[in-house]
Structure 1
Amino acid sequence: MGRKLTSILIQNICRRKFQSTARRALFHTEPELKNLSLDADSDLAALLEKKLNIEVPTQTGTGASIYRVPDRLRAVEPKAYEPNIVSIGPYHHGAYRLQAMAKTKWDFFRRIFHSTNPNRPNLKQVVDQVKQMEHEARGCYSEELKISSLNFNKIMLIDSCFIIELLKETKELDFRKKSSHIKRWMLPVLQRDLIMLENQIPLFVINKVYELIRCKQESGNLVDLALQFFESMMYKDLDNPKKMDLVVKRDGEISHFLALFRASISPSEALQNKFPVKEPNMFRSVTDLKESGVKVKKAENCQPLDVSFKKGVLKIAPVSMDDYKFTLFRNMVAYEQSHFACKPYVTAYIFFLDRLINAANDIELLHYAGVMQHTLGGNKHAATLVNNLCKEVAGAVDDSYLHNVLWKINCYCNDGWNQKMAKLKYEYFYNVWVSLSTFAAIVLIYLTILQTVAALGDDEARAHIVGNGFWMAIVEAFFVPVKGVSTTTSSSNKDSSSMSADDKFSIDGEQESMDDIGTRIDRFICWFLITSSKEHDELLMIIF
């Protein structure tokens, strides 16, 4: 009885200790519940009900397009998502490492609104327009911005003016002018910073400010200036940059610079799927495709993401890989991973590159095909960097614009005839010397068969070859071990007796000259094979 009471007492102590620990853990993980009163008999449902009553739901805009990069993507390459010299928008505003460009921002702002400017716009009118767009601009950010209305509007206005003046100044930038605020080393860094997902402000804000502050003499629009500014990041290998009117028509309203640039490089309309299509599996590298008979070539007159496959030829738009290009790809992928209103074109493209590239040899083959150039050191390191682009990224399996291309590649590579022809070409005709060796071996075998068939019989057999044809005689020669050689002695003797001595001498002379020619050909072929490279010697050993 005493043991039973002791056991019950221990169980009660353990239960109370567990409840106390759970309450402390709950308070530690959820600070907002600390104000709630708990006792030993508190009910979980009542506790959660109190939490629901005191917690105000966060109001987030449904039209958000500027996101924080997911932590799993940031962990792979943090520097790809953090601006280097300039902050745009509220996410990185006030960062200590970005304060150096604050003076340049203010210089650009003063250039526009200073009293010495003869075309000075109305500052109050511009500020009023920015205030009217505040609510809509805040809705473009995925997170609730804990920033005052005054500071938010100040960021929108000063950053918009900085971007506008930057685009205008770099349009016809002459680095020989000492008055330029933009140094030579700044231009690629600014391009990289202004394309980052977290370093954006709504495009409609910039466009409105541009309309209010530009001079009447200025022609063109903001979109053209922006595309010209970012053109060198992707279009330097192509012949025909896309016209922006087609981009706007296809993708509708563009929310910021990153979305604008992504829309400008989207694949051609012929490659786009109107409805989501599941992507087939394709795990063949460039080396595997070459062994299967697929030729890789550089596409011409195409968009940066265009890929096509027709009659065993895979055409890929040329691309140059460097640190800035990887930053661009990572931010576009982060945007597609967060913004479900856009199709995952870039995501599907980098997964396609990841399948093609498994080793340094794949990079080399793409380089010789004119498809890929890089400034990333060795080919092995370049292959590793390309493969890292897909780390922690959700694939575009259910909605890939490369569905038809991958399906055609699989059909071609799985065809037995294509595999055999590719193996024959890869093993016996992969360079000039091996091709000559193969051709010489075929000629040698041909002459050997000719000599063997001609030697199977006497003059009647040779006459039979002349009468029935060489190839028929070869077919009959294979049946000699089974049927034997049928000879007609009488007809042979008759034909021999009917010949004159001159005819016999003529036949014997022709036979001897043919034998001499065959011997010379055999000696020449043997000499050619023996004096060739090691590959020819191995082939000669196989033949004999």
Structure 2
Amino acid sequence: MAGRNVWGLKRLFLQMSCRRRNFEAFFRRCASTSSQVQENCKASLLKKLNAKIPEESDNVCIYRVPTKLRQVEAKAYDPSIVSIGPYHRGDQHLKEMEEVKLKFFQRVFKSRQEGEDELDRVISAMEKLEPRARSCYADDVKLKRDEFIEMMTIDGCFILQLLREVGGCSSSSLLQRWMLPTLRRDLIKLENQLPMIVLHKLLKLVYANSQCEYSILSLQDLALKFFNPLLQRNSHTNAAGAIVMNGACHFLDLFRSSIFSEIQDQDRKRQPHMIRSVTVLKEAGVVLEKSPNDRAFDVQSEGRFLKILPLHIDDHVGTLFRNMVVFEQCHKKCKPDATAYLFFFDGLVNSADDVEILHYKGIVHHSLGSNEEAANLVNKLCREVDWDGEESYLHKVVCEDIDVYFMSARTKLRGRLVHYYFSNWTVGISTVAGLFALYLTLIQTGCSVADALEYMQEESFWSYLSLSFFLPFSRPFMPLDQKNLNEE
């Protein structure tokens, strides 16, 4: 019996020893694993810490559209028929236009006796310009050097020849009528740009000795003449903004600078909120007028008069504004003037009624079928756009003029009266009818009081008061005239 107990104790001791060794081995493995994780993590972080991350070049001016903005209206940023630059190069739905681009490219060189020699000079110039042109794109361009040079040459020659032919130097048989408006929209989109330095170099090399009258026009003049129909404005360009526009980095920047060049020197301050809607402004007595000057997107206020330059709203304008806003959101060197104007107009237009009022005043013209569609387009332009109101050139109109006018007690009273009692003609008629009924009631009350005073001349006031109090408990009241007849 004792031997059996001894054997059981030995067995228990062996089991406990085995478990202790297993626990020690487990803890050693855990310690080893933890140490290995730390070493691997440290090695990875040191590698990333010492890695050379390419810094953004100062030349960057062509960006990819942020995803949140693209989700609102993708077709406003993606080219429809032609690809310019590397971002959309090779897209399946744009391949049909590649043949047309080659035909324009051939027109540039095949019509010249020294076409091959000129092509050599162009290739050599593009090779020297390639690093700088590549640095203009925010995203890493995957094209090889020879592919990038070929792209710059073909796309640049296509653009220049297109501008000259549309400008009137020669007639183009390569484009159908529907293509030209679509090309304007494609060539103004941010992701579909070629650096202006490339176009300037090609224009200097290829068209320097051209006998065409349009060869004397600068690239700036040709481009603005081509894009001006987007805003339905004439081809006249203001010389005051020539210096600003000469520093443009691509077509979108050039056209945007031509629009806002005349307001570059305006004072800019923080604008914490948007302007009130047209309906609210009208209720408060603000008079909306069409601006007599031709300064694009300039807004002026004089007292309670708000003067706005007419705006033509269509799909072209929507595409133009969206791309200008994205460029201002991405490019730190340009001021958010288009963004400020869009938020101003978005505040004005809250409904189809606001569009109708602006259309009646001659401020808004649209070709979208209905006022509701125009209102929806305007309100959709600012969706997902982040703007803190800094550097707004409209802060004086919104904050210092219109807001000050709204703060007066007279304006607030007028706004409430118009909003609740004269918002439309049916409510106004009801209000007038109610006032007229109240007027008649007052007349009737006055007549009744006059009759009562005649009775009170014979009876004292307290007698009349007691008679009125006990009237429900007494016999029917007999008129004064009938009482006199009965007494007689």
Pairwise TM-score range, normalised by the shorter structure: 0.7 to 0.9
Cα distance change of structure 1 residues 272 and 242 upon mapping to structure 2, 3 Å threshold: farther
Q: Answer yes or no: is 1:314 the counterpart of 2:296.
A: no
Q: What are the equivalent positions in structure 2 for 1:130-209 lying under 5 Å apart?
A: 130-172=126-168, 180-209=173-202
Contact kept, 8 Å, 1:271 with 1:306, in 2: the verdict is: no
Matched residue pairs, number?
A: 420
Q: What whole-Å deviation, never above 9, does each CA across 1:465-515 have from its counterpart, x for those lacking one?
A: xxxxxxxxxxxxxxxxxxxxxxxxxxxxxxxxxxxxxxxxxxxxxxxxxxx
Inter-partner Cα distance in structure 1 for 2:68 and 2:398: 28
Aligned counterpart for 1:294 among listed residues 270, 286, 296: 286
Aligned residue in 2 for 1:49: 46
SS of aligned partner of 2:193 = coil
Aligned residue in 2 for 1:99: 95
Please state how far the C-alpha of 1:397 moved relative to its aligned partner.
0.7
Aligned residue in 2 for 1:84: 80
SS of aligned partner of 1:297 = strand
Cα distance change of structure 1 residues 396 and 371 upon mapping to structure 2, 3 Å threshold: farther
SS of aligned partner of 1:266 = helix
Cα distance change of structure 1 residues 242 and 309 upon mapping to structure 2, 3 Å threshold: farther
Cα distance change of structure 1 residues 246 and 64 upon mapping to structure 2, 3 Å threshold: same
Please state how far the C-alpha of 1:85 moved relative to its aligned partner.
0.5
Q: What whole-Å deviation, never above 9, does each CA across 1:41-97 have from its counterpart, x for those lacking one?
A: 5263343013334x3423542220111111111111111110011001111111111
Inter-partner Cα distance in structure 2 for 1:160 and 1:390: 33
* Residue identity matched to 1:152: F
Cα distance change of structure 1 residues 228 and 59 upon mapping to structure 2, 3 Å threshold: same
Inter-partner Cα distance in structure 2 for 1:105 and 1:42: 56
Inter-partner Cα distance in structure 2 for 1:377 and 1:136: 46
Aligned counterpart for 1:261 among listed residues 251, 255, 258: 255
Further displaced range: 251-260 or 400-409 = 251-260
Aligned residue in 1 for 2:224: 227
Please state how far the C-alpha of 1:143 moved relative to its aligned partner.
1.7
Aligned-pair Cα RMSD in Å: 3.7
Aligned residue in 2 for 1:245: 239
* Residue identity matched to 1:269: I
Please state how far the C-alpha of 1:132 moved relative to its aligned partner.
1.5
Please state how far the C-alpha of 1:171 moved relative to its aligned partner.
1.7
SS of aligned partner of 1:122 = helix
Cα distance change of structure 1 residues 293 and 138 upon mapping to structure 2, 3 Å threshold: same
Inter-partner Cα distance in structure 1 for 2:422 and 2:144: 74
SS of aligned partner of 2:270 = coil
Contact kept, 8 Å, 1:312 with 1:412, in 2: the verdict is: yes
Contact kept, 8 Å, 2:76 with 2:322, in 1: the verdict is: yes
Bigger relative contact order, structure 1 or 2, given CA contacts below 8 A and separation 6+? 2
Q: What whole-Å deviation, never above 9, does each CA across 1:127-176 have from its counterpart, x for those lacking one?
A: 211112111111111122121111111111111110011111112399xx
Contact kept, 8 Å, 1:267 with 1:306, in 2: the verdict is: no
Q: What whole-Å deviation, never above 9, does each CA across 1:447-469 have from its counterpart, x for those lacking one?
A: x99xx9xxx9xxxxxxxxxxxxx
The alignment's TM-score, normalised by the length of structure 1, stands at 0.69
Please state how far the C-alpha of 1:241 moved relative to its aligned partner.
5.9
Aligned residue in 1 for 2:62: 66
Cα distance change of structure 1 residues 424 and 267 upon mapping to structure 2, 3 Å threshold: farther
Inter-partner Cα distance in structure 1 for 2:286 and 2:410: 13
Contact kept, 8 Å, 1:197 with 1:335, in 2: the verdict is: yes
Inter-partner Cα distance in structure 2 for 1:185 and 1:282: 38
* Residue identity matched to 2:222: L
Cα distance change of structure 1 residues 302 and 40 upon mapping to structure 2, 3 Å threshold: same
Q: What are the equivalent positions in structure 2 for 1:102-501 lying under 5 Å apart?
A: 102-114=98-110, 116-118=111-113, 120=115, 122-172=118-168, 180-214=173-207, 215-217=210-212, 218-236=215-233, 243-250=237-244, 253-266=247-260, 268-269=262-263, 272-273=266-267, 276-407=268-399, 408-421=401-414
Q: Percent identity?
A: 40
Inter-partner Cα distance in structure 2 for 1:60 and 1:269: 30
Cα distance change of structure 1 residues 213 and 40 upon mapping to structure 2, 3 Å threshold: closer
Contact kept, 8 Å, 1:60 with 1:143, in 2: the verdict is: no
Inter-partner Cα distance in structure 2 for 1:283 and 1:132: 50
Please state how far the C-alpha of 1:424 moved relative to its aligned partner.
6.3
Inter-partner Cα distance in structure 1 for 2:258 and 2:176: 27
Contact kept, 8 Å, 1:89 with 1:155, in 2: the verdict is: yes
Inter-partner Cα distance in structure 1 for 2:295 and 2:283: 28
Inter-partner Cα distance in structure 2 for 1:97 and 1:350: 31
Contact kept, 8 Å, 1:83 with 1:196, in 2: the verdict is: yes
The alignment's TM-score, normalised by the length of structure 2, stands at 0.76
Contact kept, 8 Å, 2:263 with 2:298, in 1: the verdict is: no
Contact kept, 8 Å, 1:336 with 1:347, in 2: the verdict is: yes
Inter-partner Cα distance in structure 2 for 1:49 and 1:61: 25
SS of aligned partner of 2:365 = strand
Inter-partner Cα distance in structure 1 for 2:298 and 2:396: 12
Q: Which runs of 5+ in 1 are unaligned?
A: 21-37, 457-544
Inter-partner Cα distance in structure 1 for 2:347 and 2:103: 48
SS of aligned partner of 1:309 = strand
Inter-partner Cα distance in structure 2 for 1:308 and 1:271: 15
Displaced runs of 4 or more, over 4 A = 118-121, 421-431
Contact kept, 8 Å, 2:245 with 2:254, in 1: the verdict is: no
Inter-partner Cα distance in structure 1 for 2:175 and 2:196: 23
Further displaced range: 370-379 or 128-137 = 370-379
Contact kept, 8 Å, 1:202 with 1:256, in 2: the verdict is: yes
Inter-partner Cα distance in structure 2 for 1:206 and 1:40: 54
Cα distance change of structure 1 residues 267 and 285 upon mapping to structure 2, 3 Å threshold: farther
Please state how far the C-alpha of 1:119 moved relative to its aligned partner.
7.3
Inter-partner Cα distance in structure 1 for 2:157 and 2:165: 12
Inter-partner Cα distance in structure 1 for 2:304 and 2:236: 28
Inter-partner Cα distance in structure 2 for 1:74 and 1:286: 29
Contact kept, 8 Å, 2:289 with 2:308, in 1: the verdict is: yes
Cα distance change of structure 1 residues 360 and 406 upon mapping to structure 2, 3 Å threshold: same
